[in-house]
């Protein structure tokens, strides 16, 4: 994991005692709950709301060439539109034998955005002749914080593992049924939600962001 900084100014100088509010750039209730739980465990007094409170904010095109660029695009757009600090993440699966792809194209690898089965089937076909020792991969996530002032931070998390030859498990989403984390025999689709959260790339990126939120917003 690493942190990068940029921009100018800050969000300090808060004189009231109410918790700072920040927008997580998603309408996915699971992500909101996960970040709230991580901040509570880290005793970070920041109130997280989702985009359901801002129906006027539309989807932000993910035109960046890296996970960090896409996360920052979303975070800055939402910070400008809401007037609040904004957090966004971007993630995907990076397969060693495919030179790190599908990467930022993970959700639309088959050509249709969000078609999990088509994406998974295509990827399995592409690595069907790759022998076991070379089926390494990792899930990667970049989490970005953008302040209305333009200041920004990015943290990153990763989860190493291998790609198996046939899907297993009914939990999770995306490529979870074909990914076995290092040190595990189960796929991420076979892990309980709490087990997955504890080791996931997104959980690691969000946990790395927690002390930054405490510093800038707490």
Binding residues for substrate, as ranges, are 26-31, 91, 173-176, 196, 201-202
3-class SS of residue 47: strand
The span from the first CA to the last CA of the chain, in angstroms, equals 22
The neighbouring-strand residues paired with 46 are: 20
Among 16, 59, 89, 90, the one annotated catalytic: 90
Distance CA 57, CA 60 (A): 9
Q: Prior bond to 102 cis, omega within 30?
A: yes
Quickly count: other Cβ atoms within 10 Å of residue 23's Cβ: 25
Indicate if 90 belongs to the active site.
Answer: yes
* Phi, psi at 49, each rounded to 5°: -120, 160
Contact 145, 85 (CB under 8 A): yes
Kindly list the catalytic residues.
90
């Amino acid at each position: 994991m690493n942190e990068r900084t940029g921009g100018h100014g800050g969000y300090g100088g808060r004189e009231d005692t109410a918790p700072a509010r920040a927008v997580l750039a998603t309408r996915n209730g699971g992500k909101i709950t996960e970040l709230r739980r991580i901040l509570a465990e880290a005793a970070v007094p920041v109130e997280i709301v989702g985009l359901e409170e801002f129906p006027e904010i539309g989807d932000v095109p993910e035109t960046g060439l890296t996970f960090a660029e896409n996360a920052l695009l979303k975070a800055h757009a939402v910070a400008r539109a809401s007037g609040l600090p904004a957090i966004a993440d971007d993630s995907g699966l990076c397969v060693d034998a495919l030179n790190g792809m599908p990467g930022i194209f993970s959700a639309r690898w088959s050509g249709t955005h969000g078609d999990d089965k088509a994406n998974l089937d295509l990827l399995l076909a592409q690595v069907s002749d790759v022998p076991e020792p070379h089926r390494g991969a990792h899930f990667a996530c970049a989490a970005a914080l953008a302040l209305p002032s333009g200041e920004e931070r990015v943290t990153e998390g990763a989860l190493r593992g291998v790609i198996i030859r046939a899907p297993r498990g009914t939990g999770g989403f995306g490529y979870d049924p074909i990914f076995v984390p290092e040190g595990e025999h189960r796929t991420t689709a076979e892990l309980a939600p709490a087990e997955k959260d504890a080791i996931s790339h997104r959980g690691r990126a969000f946990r790395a962001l927690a002390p930054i939120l405490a510093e800038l917003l707490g």
